[in-house]
Structure 1
């Protein structure tokens, strides 16, 4: 293959670039791609073994990636994991901005229909991270601020984001929270079973009394969970024509399907 590439004429930028290799860059990208698949992080020896590289060359690459803010080291466990740097960069990329715009439009319509706040979250380690949030125009709402982080084990969003994982992996992630308890995990697993069975999760908020969280998963191109869509449902004491919680679940499910479809769910072969 090397000989064929060397004989290729410079007919375009892609072919020109294929003539050259950048081993250091390749190693750095290999590390980022490997860590992107790990929820717990990896030790440098584990990274070296997975990539069939020496520990010394992996260590040098990790030092550079750490200094640039792409990876972080947990000194207690000696494990390296990704920071949110890649996430921040991805949100400067036009296709991601388009995705946010698509989801935002559907979220806004859903918030108005339900007269409830709606937010979208992704997994960030053992927490959920709120990446989009919309309020309805009415009064008396409960919302979660943009950028908020909440332990996965206490949220219906977390149940939607992790329902494709094994119970063992969920337990590993949840146990990292200092407020973790067997009872909390049992409730969390019950929420996960709801998602597996019905595609939607309804559970009382573990943080705010009187709020029932309703959440659905957003499915991406490859059939894997990309995000969660959640309504912190509040029941108003005055008589209104607002949808009840059963209707809320159906409306949120449809919103989740619309967003999933627009980001390519089911398109992967």
Structure 2
């Protein structure tokens, strides 16, 4: 009897894993198309980009309009801010952004640099907050930007400060997204970053740019986020803070932010 129950339980779990929800998938397809678009999209174009027919998505679009996720503009449709508003209700992200804002503002103001905060998301990293250079001239990233992981300083920091299982999963996910970024020495690199406590190196993507990144740690010593300063020499500023000062200030800011979100002082 026990064996029969175990077989039935496994069968139920297998069915659950293979179960599909066509209506939900159509709705998500619509939202993803509209989120990627910079302007309103006609119903015909929306259907084409979602790989659906107009008949398949018509009622779903109306439902999303009624629920406030999508707005109708003449004969086209555009995403509203409702998804963004809901995302702000997520407690971990909300706490991180709430505590990060004043720390990042202070860092940028004292050093006259820009800084940004990224989190890992399925093989890529996403910019969730940024502060521009107070003087108005500098390198900065747009909030919401997707960044590569294994070839960027901040991305490697997000992978280095994890347990081995999570580290391996993130490497695999990142390579699935960008197989051309495989590095046979990546394990050695990540171990070195973890030993140092941060990474600081010339950018592999932007010539003349130097990147410094520290992890924002949880109580287990795992990186919830990476706080990064893109640093470039300014030939018109003889008194510009040197990179050593950037390291020191960024380390202090990252430590403070880690403590604010629950990581005990080490």
Mapping of residues 171-182 of structure 1, within 5 Å? 171-178=171-178, 180-182=180-182
Mapping of residues 250-265 of structure 1, within 5 Å? 250-265=248-263
One of 135, 143, 147 as aligned partner of 1:146: 143
Query: How many aligned positions are there?
Result: 203
One of 113, 116, 137 as aligned partner of 2:113: 116
Q: Quote the Cα distance in structure 1 between the aligned partners of 2:20 and 2:222.
A: 30
Structure 1 unaligned regions, length at least 5: 1-47, 73-84
Does residue 59 (structure 1) correspond to residue 18 (structure 2)? The answer is yes
Go from structure 1 to structure 2 and tell me whether the alpha carbon gap of 1:181 and 1:64 turns closer, same or farther (over 3 Å shift): same
- What does the per-residue CA deviation read over 1:96-128, in whole Å, with 9 as the maximum and x for residues that have no partner? 434312101000100111211100000111111
Go from structure 1 to structure 2 and tell me whether the alpha carbon gap of 1:219 and 1:94 turns closer, same or farther (over 3 Å shift): closer
Determine if contact 2:105/2:131 at 8 Å carries over to the other structure. Answer: yes
Determine if contact 1:192/1:201 at 8 Å carries over to the other structure. Answer: no
One of 205, 209, 228 as aligned partner of 2:207: 209
Determine if contact 1:154/1:188 at 8 Å carries over to the other structure. Answer: no
Go from structure 1 to structure 2 and tell me whether the alpha carbon gap of 1:142 and 1:179 turns closer, same or farther (over 3 Å shift): farther
Range moving further from structure 2, 207-216 or 235-244: 235-244
Go from structure 1 to structure 2 and tell me whether the alpha carbon gap of 1:218 and 1:248 turns closer, same or farther (over 3 Å shift): same
Q: Quote the Cα distance in structure 2 between the aligned partners of 1:94 and 1:135.
A: 25
Q: Where in structure 1 do 4 or more consecutive aligned residues deviate above 6 Å?
A: 85-88
Q: Quote the Cα distance in structure 2 between the aligned partners of 1:146 and 1:216.
A: 19
- What does the per-residue CA deviation read over 1:58-101, in whole Å, with 9 as the maximum and x for residues that have no partner? 4347667646649x9xxxxxxxxxxxx99974422467434312
Q: Quote the Cα distance in structure 1 between the aligned partners of 2:107 and 2:119.
A: 19
What displacement does 1:205 show?
Answer: 1.2
Q: Quote the Cα distance in structure 2 between the aligned partners of 1:152 and 1:106.
A: 24
Structure 2 unaligned regions, length at least 5: 1-8, 33-81
Q: Quote the Cα distance in structure 2 between the aligned partners of 1:54 and 1:98.
A: 35
Determine if contact 1:160/1:195 at 8 Å carries over to the other structure. Answer: yes
Does residue 156 (structure 1) correspond to residue 153 (structure 2)? The answer is yes
Q: Quote the Cα distance in structure 1 between the aligned partners of 2:90 and 2:177.
A: 32
Q: Quote the Cα distance in structure 1 between the aligned partners of 2:16 and 2:256.
A: 46
- What does the per-residue CA deviation read over 1:178-199, in whole Å, with 9 as the maximum and x for residues that have no partner? 46244xx257556523421121
Go from structure 1 to structure 2 and tell me whether the alpha carbon gap of 1:189 and 1:87 turns closer, same or farther (over 3 Å shift): farther
Q: Quote the Cα distance in structure 2 between the aligned partners of 1:188 and 1:235.
A: 28
DSSP-derived class of the 2:206 partner: coil
Does residue 195 (structure 1) correspond to residue 193 (structure 2)? The answer is yes
What displacement does 1:264 show?
Answer: 0.4
